[in-house]
Amino acid sequence: MNQKTLTQRDKNIIWHPYTQMKRWSEAIGIVKAKDAILYAEDGKQYIDAGSSWWVTLHGHSNTHIAKRISEQLTTMEHCIFAGFTHEPAVELAERLLPILPGDMARIFYSDNGSTAVEVALKMAHQYHQNKNEKQKTKIVAIEGAYHGDTFGAMSVSARSLFTEQFNAMLFDVSFIPFPSKANEGKALGELENILKQGNVSSFIVEPLVQGSGGMRMYSPETLEKLFLLCKKYDCLVIADEVMTGFGRTGTLFACNQLKDAKPDIVCLSKGLTGGTLPMGITACTAEIFDAFLSDDAHKTLYHGHSFTANPIGCAAALASLELLLSDDCQKNIQRIVAKHCEAKQQLSSHPKAKDVRQTGTILAVEIDTGETDYLNNKRDFIYQYFLNKGLLMRPLGNIIYLLPPYCISDEQLDYAYQSMEELLEIFNTQ
């Protein structure tokens, strides 16, 4: 038996993501995860209020999903997806296509959110090239965006501390202002000015909520206007629903809240497998797919990953989707939406709550700390404050938020709201 703790064994051999290892060299060892709770090796428990980086939908170690994964593991664990196909991949596409926003006709599988975005960017770019619209090479995104950490995904993301070391290597992208209510006219105006130049291939957005950018929210009406403008100028719209998908915004997908406008490409990951296995999907319309059909080899979409359409991932996604569409889960989502709504009223009245916002199951509070930088030292204090309270809530700078798994109980939610209020009170008395 190894007498050392996980924390100790990890310390000298592992490099953690998004982590300055000099300051954060002690990772908390987790030995079990069930429903909304993470169990640490020292006996502490943490409510996973952010769904483990936004992936867990139905809680941890869900037995329904586990059963399907286990059955798939002993039927077919993997199979090359070029020239071959299999039941889980076909069934998942059959089930997803009718419920995705827009007129999605094809599913392209990959590994994670960043790869789903890379595929979307390639599809959109090559679509215009294949149609001989050679000048359409420009991509437009929104200020503050986050679409992933690979180079293409970084290029369409905000230039920030996270991309700084690589900025010179990223391709040129036009960013329009964040389309808040106050900024809507400006955002639409700038988008149209860029579109008018006739060289834009696509516009990529996080619909309704910018996640990593600080849970920044904007209205479906505004999103509608942005999409319709793109349509007018024959610019493809990529909806990056990697975070917003699978019920987070209160509807199945954020783009379901649109009336007439439709995305041309949809990116999915995170909640896709209920948070059990990594997988990405890029869905597109028949019009895009058809532009790649040709006897000319140059018009082929040359992209693929070793684990494309991994059957275990597809089986997990099918099981998770079944749960998501069940009455129980839909009721849970509406329960969380209603609880958040009440908490929002309560938290809004606090003098240190600069802004309290909600979209569906996502509730965010911007704390008035006097600083706004992601690196402000209050961030570490806030993170530690919640950990001490048994809450895993990684703040985005001075923004604290809940994005819980749908199995979270009313008591756990109340405890989180109360802890948020107590934190605001600490800032009030400082």
Ligand X SMILES: *Cc1c(COP(=O)(O)O)cnc(C)c1O
Which sequence positions are flagged as catalytic? 18, 146, 240, 270
Which residue in the set 40, 57, 205, 243 belongs to the binding site for ligand X (CB under 6 A)?
243
Q: How far is the CB of 265 from ligand X (least distance, A)?
A: 13
Q: What is the Cα–Cα distance from 14 to 26, expressed in whole angstroms?
A: 11
199, 137 Cβ separation under 8 angstroms? yes
Closest CA to 210 of 194, 202, 198, 222: 222
Cβ neighbours for 98, distance < 8 A, ≥ 6 positions apart: none
Strand partners, 175: 141
Please state the closest distance from residue 112 (CB atom) to ligand X, in A. 3
The nearest distance, CB 152 to ligand X, in angstroms, is: 11
Of 113 and 179, nearer to ligand X (C-beta) is: 113
Give the nearer residue to ligand X in terms of CB position, either 50 or 311: 50
- Minimum CB distance to ligand X smaller for 254 or for 321: 254
Instruction: Please name the residue that has the structure tokens 């934190």.
Output: 423
State the binding string over 249-288 for ligand X (x if CB under 6 A, else -).
--------------------x-------------------
Where do we find the tokens 């938020």?
A: 401
Minimum CB separation of residue 140 from ligand X in Å reads 16
Give min distance, CB of 270 to ligand X, in A: 6
Q: CA 300 from chain center: how many Å? A: 28
Residue that has been written with the tokens 């130049």 in this structure:
197
d(CA 65, CA 77) in angstroms, rounded, equals 15
Alpha-carbon dihedral 249, 255, 259, 265, rounded to 10 degrees: 180
CB of 71 to ligand X, least distance (A): 25
In the complex with ligand X, the residue whose CB is nearer, 269 or 332, is 269
How many Å apart are CA 253 and CA 170, to the nearest integer? 30
Which two structure tokens, joined as six digits, stand for 316?
A: 């997990």
Stretch that binds ligand X, among 32-40, 144-152, 247-255, 411-419 (CB under 6 A): 144-152
Cβ neighbours, 10 Å, residue 399: 21
What residues between 55 and 114 interact with ligand X by CB under 6 A? 112-114
Closest contact distance (angstroms) between CB of 401 and ligand X is 13
Give the bridge partners for 32, in sequence order.
Answer: 39
C-alpha dist (Å) from residue 317 to 115, 265, 268, 277: 17, 19, 11, 9
Does 148 bind ligand X (CB under 6 A)? Our answer is: yes
Of 242, 315, 317, 363, the one binding ligand X (CB under 6 A) is 242
Nearer to ligand X by Cβ, of 114 and 358: the residue is: 114
**Residues 6 or more apart whose Cβ sits within 8 Å of residue 78:** 307, 310, 311, 312
The residue among 177 and 245 lying less far from ligand X, judged by its C-beta, is 245
What is the nearest approach in angstroms of ligand X to the Cβ of residue 291? Answer: 24
The residue within the footprint of ligand X, chosen from 57, 69, 100, 117 (CB under 6 A), is 117
User: Which of 48, 240, 264, 366 touches ligand X (CB under 6 A)?
Assistant: 240
In the block, tokens 């082929």 appear at 300
Asked if 43 contacts 49 with a C-beta cutoff of 8 angstroms, the reply is: no
Q: Which of 118, 190, 206, 366 binds ligand X (CB under 6 A)?
A: 206
Tally Cβ neighbours within 10 Å of residue 355: 14
Q: Which range binds ligand X by CB under 6 A, 18-26, 42-50, 123-131, 238-246? A: 238-246
Binding segment toward ligand X, per CB under 6 A, in 18-26, 120-128, 235-243, 289-297? 235-243
Candidates 152, 177, 211, 395: give the one binding ligand X (CB under 6 A). 211
Question: Which residues share a beta bridge with 47?
Answer: 37, 391
Give the residue closest to ligand X by C-beta.
Answer: 113
Can you tell me the distance from the alpha carbon of 247 to that of 134, in angstroms, rounded to the nearest whole number?
38
Q: Is the dihedral of CA 340, 217, 229, 109 positive or negative?
A: negative
Nearer of residues 347 and 392 to ligand X, judged by Cβ: 392
In the bound state with ligand X, the residue whose beta carbon lies nearer, of 65 and 158, is 158
Q: How many residues bind ligand X (CB under 6 A)?
A: 13
Residues in touch with ligand X (CB under 6 A): 112-114, 117, 146-148, 206, 211, 240, 242-243, 269
